Amino acid sequence: MARLIAFREALREAMSEEMRKDPNVFLMGEEVAEYNGAYKVSQGMLDEFGPQRVIDTPISELGFAGIAVGAAQNGLRPIVEFMTWNFAALALDQILNTASKMLAMSGGQVGCPIVFRGPNGSAGQLGAQHSTAFESYYANIPGIKVISPSNPYDAKGLLKAAIRDNDPVIFMESEVMYGEKGEVPEEDYIIPIGKADVKKQGRDVTIVSYNKMMKVALGAATELEKEGISAEVIDLRTIRPLDWHTILESVKKTNRLVIVEEQWPMCSVSSEIAYRIQKEGFDYLDAPIRRITAADAPLHYAPNLVAAALPDIPRTVKLVKEVMYV
């Protein structure tokens, strides 16, 4: 039976359920315990699991990421919450040089089952140092998986899968989505990592997106429908591994592809999708692949500049019409 719960509640349920099942799972990060989490994702978890499994850390991302990686290599399953992925740049050494490489460097003897999670990307007027989208950064690293969900149902099912996974997983959320509600079943469920979801069926053009840009993609599809253009909308959900098959099968049907993402354009997720689809699906394309990304610049504080820098529904509609009438 489904209930309507907030995104943060879906994440909390995923962590709590997995911690009840497996005593090796624990949560650590800044303000996750006494303060109930910077965004109240871990609210009440300290009371249930105690300070040995819900652990407040110093303001030292490199330090507590290193502790968690060591714990994972010794049989535990840490969940590390970063207050923002912008701050997690300080912990990149542990993610890149230890967590992602240990299985290969040890000849398969030492794994690192760990989840690094927290908010990612822009969240309004937070300034350039708090507004970077990092999916393509981490998707560039072999040995880890990257998840970026767009709704509470997917967030819970994918986080549970991430906690159970034996590889390091990067789990990217959005501050602006924590309060958004969606239907989530009461019963236990898992969403497989690496499987995209067709959120809307269509026949004329494929729109691919993920995370909070799915609102833009679905909003554009609704507007296009009013003008007789039927858009198929795909939510990637997982950035690494990417579900190429679902995108390609959609392009075989619609013959057109538009990608909407919050990344900067250089070496982005859309760059990789465009290359792969033109390589494997060129004969099915009736128009060039197009994309809309964030502006190739740091995100400023002023609200008009934030709006100008990020993808929106009108610009996405305009881009789709360009590929329809090329």
The Cα-based distances of 294 to 125, 169, 234, 261, 310 in angstroms read: 15, 25, 19, 7, 5
Low-confidence ranges of the chain (pLDDT < 70): none
Which structure tokens are listed for 78?
A: 């840490």
pLDDT at site 1:
80
Burial of 70 (0-12, 13-18, 19+ CB in 10 A): middle
Final residue before a domain boundary, out of 140, 164, 185: 185
Per DSSP, which regions of the chain are E strands?
Answer: 2-6, 25-29, 54-56, 77-81, 115-119, 145-147, 169-173, 181-185, 197-200, 205-209, 231-235, 238-240, 257-260, 290-292
Among candidate residues 167, 155, 310, the one with its CA nearest the CA of residue 241? 167
Q: Is 250 a domain residue?
A: yes
pLDDT at site 18:
98
pTM assigned to the model: 0.96
Burial of 165 (0-12, 13-18, 19+ CB in 10 A): middle
Residues 144 and 245 in one domain: no
- The domain that holds 73 is classified in CATH as 3.40.50.970
Helix 269-281 and helix 244-254: axis angle, to 10°? 60
The active-site residue, picked from 30, 61, 135, 272, is: 61
pLDDT at site 113:
98
Q: What is the SS3 assignment for 183?
A: strand
Residue 300 annotated as catalytic:
no
Q: Is 190 a domain residue?
A: no
Residues 12 and 55 in one domain: yes
Q: Is 235 a domain residue?
A: yes
Q: Tell me if 174 sits within 8 A of 196, measured CB to CB.
A: no
pLDDT at site 236:
98
pLDDT at site 124:
86
Residues 159 and 258 in one domain: no
Residues 171 and 288 in one domain: no
Residues 109 and 217 in one domain: no
Residues 176 and 309 in one domain: no
> How many structural domains comprise the chain?
2
Residues 318 and 254 in one domain: yes
- In one-letter notation, the amino acid at residue 168 is P
- What is the torsional sign of CA 231, 237, 239, 244? negative
Q: Which residues pair with 231 in a beta bridge?
A: 205
Domain range for 242 is: 197-324
The Cα-based distances of 159 to 14, 28, 135, 147, 170 in angstroms read: 6, 15, 16, 9, 10
Residues 32 and 178 in one domain: yes
- The domain that holds 274 is classified in CATH as 3.40.50.920
Residue 130 annotated as catalytic:
yes
Residues 202 and 282 in one domain: yes
The active-site residue, picked from 18, 81, 130, 272, is: 130
Q: Is 304 a domain residue?
A: yes
Residues 130 and 210 in one domain: no
